[in-house]
Amino acid sequence: MIRLGSLVQILLLAISVYAQLNDVKFRVKRPFERDQKPFEEEEDGMYGLCENDSGQMYYYKQYEGQENICEKEVAKIKYSNKINETGWAFVEVEVADRVVEPYMQGYAAGFVEGKTTRDLIYLHLSNTVDGFCKGAEEFCEELNQYLLDNYVWMEEKIAKNPLDNYWIQVNMTINHLLGMIDGYDAQLGRRLGVQEIVSHPLFLIQLAGDIEDLAIKFKKPETRRSRLAGTGHCSALVKVLPDHSDIYFSHVTWASYSSMLRMQKRYTFATSDPGRSYAFSGYPGSIPSVDDFVVTSSRLAILETTISNYNEKLDEYMTPESVLCWIRTQVAHRSASSGVRWAKTFAKYNSGTYNNQWNILDYKKFRQGQQDKLLHGLLHVLEQLPNHVVHTDMTHTLLRQQYWPSYNSPYFPKIFEWSETDKMVEKFGDWYSYDKTPRALIFRRDHDKVVDMESMIQLMRSNNYTQDPLSKCDCVPPYSGENAISCRSDLNPPNGTYPFAALGHRDHGATDMKVTNSHLIEMLSFTAIAGPTHDPTPVFDWTTTPFRKIVPHNGQPIRWTFGPITHEWEESLFASKQINSSSVQLVDDIETLESLKQDLENFVPI
């Protein structure tokens, strides 16, 4: 595994395997339930894990302008909570070069983040996870068994393939989560059993994307009908400027307003992977972006928009013998140096969950001002369904059209057919089509207006649904806030009449905007705006929205009027100002590093 070493834990693993082989159901009393006591908020600043001369690990706060006494750094985090000023908190995590084993790197990175940001994690859990199993106990039991079986299967693959880089990366990602859990619970070096891990609320946070398809597969109450709701996630655009002076790469998240407790993160690991460092828009406690919007040190920019699977026959291919999407993204981000390599890595062990269209732009291939008709490898596109993955180079299409849009509809004919989206077109019309859906038409009409960063942001934040003819629908009133690049379904009247739920009044909207270009990606930076779009639409305000009493929003700003911000990361956290002995605040001193290593090595070959 991972972090098993004691006889008790080995026994737990054996019991888990026995259950898998003999179809024994583990019944969890209250899975995914968080602690009820809120945490004290950590101050902005630098925190870290250090090993002292006795081999003890401790978590500490580093004070600015003072000399460093930590000679054996393990990991550091720089934390800045600017949610009330900008809509974002900022997290930078870096692992020291002396930490060689990838699984230890993952654990250390997770621990410092979980410990330092646990106040925001607590709030995010209260907004998004609380009550997840209420009224859905049978579903949660089936989900828990699936996750248990899946975890045990991955453990077995890791143990059998100690030199395979793919499984080394999977192990590193799982340990990243284990560290996050231990940091959140303030239990350094703890040995959790498999059941405790998969039922922890932080495990569910990682599944924010995967859970949508698993909820349908296991028939979570009030979820089955979502196949017909058309609940799209996100709008995206890759835009080549007319003079080929730049390429903009942008993404807008569509989600529940309960999810607007936001973070920008950068992870830097001490591996030799091309993508050892990557930055992304994300959420408290979440290792994957979920949006997804990611830029990596291999100068890849990666995003996705969700595609719906309306074909129930494909549900049978969602089996525990697979790697969930949230893990596959981390493996691909770190391992890949090209779009095609990212796609091939991601496609392995397809779980059929969180089915998306992925766009991977390789900025290494871009030459400012040059128009090479033979260029290959600039843009790679992948689409996934259960048991099906299609991907190919789309560079020529991008250069010919000068833009590549993505808006929750499958591009590849086979994916369109296998997902039975074609049947949705027959039943409900062009809204479900690829080339005639409102956002396709808006992107086609307006992409030529993009000439600089300002006009790109304007397009990605656009929503003038009451006046734009492309936002019209067979509805009463005759338009929908859903039919825009940045949707605002909360503005649709509750007493309106709509042909299907996606066009109606609901807790759903564009919650951000991110964009990078050939200059910003060099620094793993991007420009971002937090919160629902406004102007000409009304500002989103929790005191006036009809959802204020039914949608949890603990810790969020009340009024969302934030503008664009471009965050600058530190060159290295280990090059920052140092601390002295009087400024070391020991927070945890639980276990020696050597003891922890030995316990890990009992199961994980190095």
DSSP helix/strand/coil, 148: helix
Distance CA 344, CA 329 (A): 11
Alpha-carbon span 153 to 16, nearest angstrom:
10
**176 token code pair:** 């990243």
* pLDDT band (50, 70, 90) for residue 108: very high
Place of tokens 């929003």: 553
pLDDT at 36: 62
Per the prediction, the chain carries an average pLDDT of 89
Residue 204, CA distances (Å) to 47, 182, 577 in order: 26, 15, 37
- Per-residue pLDDT band for 116 (boundaries 50, 70, 90) equals very high
Cross-strand bridge partners of residue 96: none
pLDDT at 590 over 90: no
Q: Which residue has the tokens 């090059």?
A: 575
In sequence order, which residues have a C-beta less than 8 Å from that of residue 491 and are 6 or more positions away? 465, 481, 537, 538
* d(C-alpha 364, C-alpha 366), whole Å: 6
Least reliable range by pLDDT among 237-241, 368-372, 417-421, 538-542: 368-372
Mean pLDDT of 387-414: 98
Residues 332-359 have pLDDT tens digits of: 999 999 999 999 999 999 999 999 999 9
% of the chain at pLDDT higher than 90: 81
Rounded CA gap, 172 and 159, in Å?
Answer: 13
First to last CA, the chain: 12
Q: Which residue has the higher pLDDT, 583 or 481?
A: 481
Between the alpha carbon of residue 91 and those of residues 268, 311, 578, the distances in Å are: 11, 39, 19
CA torsion through residues 43, 47, 52, 55, sign: positive
Q: Which of 279, 294, 302, 323 is nearest to 382 (CA)?
A: 302
The C-alpha atoms of residue 191 and residue 196 are separated, in whole angstroms, by 10
Q: Which residue has the tokens 């739920």?
A: 501
Q: Is the pLDDT of residue 595 over 50?
A: no
Query: Is the model's pLDDT at 454 over the cut of 60?
Result: yes
- pLDDT tens across 19-65, in order? 443 333 333 335 666 666 666 778 999 999 999 888 888 999 988 87
Q: Which stretches of 254-384 are DSSP H helices?
A: 325-335, 339-347
- 238 neighbors 247 (Cβ within 8 angstroms): yes
Q: Give 381's pLDDT tier (boundaries 50, 70, 90).
A: very high
Establish whether the linkage from the previous residue to 291 is cis, with ω within 30° of 0.
no
Closest CA to 227 of 314, 133, 329, 153: 314
pLDDT at position 12: 39
Model pTM above 0.85:
yes
pLDDT category at 1 given cuts 50, 70, 90 is: very low
**pLDDT recorded at residue 10:** 40
Q: What is the pLDDT of residues 59-95, one digit of tens each?
A: 999 888 776 678 899 999 999 999 999 999 999 999 9
Distance of CA 239 to the CA centre of its chain: 23
| Domains of the chain listed by start with CATH number | 7-206+573-601 (3.60.60.30), 210-253+291-538 (3.60.60.30)
Reduced to 3 states, what is the DSSP secondary structure of residue 491?
helix
Q: For position 6, what pLDDT does the model report?
A: 39
Contact (CB, 8 A) for 155 and 2: yes
Both structure tokens of 206 = 């990682």
Tell me the pLDDT tens digit for each residue of 139-158.
Answer: 999 999 999 999 999 999 99
Question: In the structure, how many helices (H) and strands (E) does the chain have?
Answer: 17, 21
Burial 12-32 (b: 16+ CB within 10 A, else e): bbeebbebbeeeeebebeebb
Please say whether the beta carbons of 500 and 230 come within 8 A: yes
Per residue in 169-185, pLDDT (tens digit) is 999 999 999 999 999 99
The DSSP element (H or E) to which 12 belongs, if any, is helix 7-22
The neighbouring-strand residues paired with 541 are 559
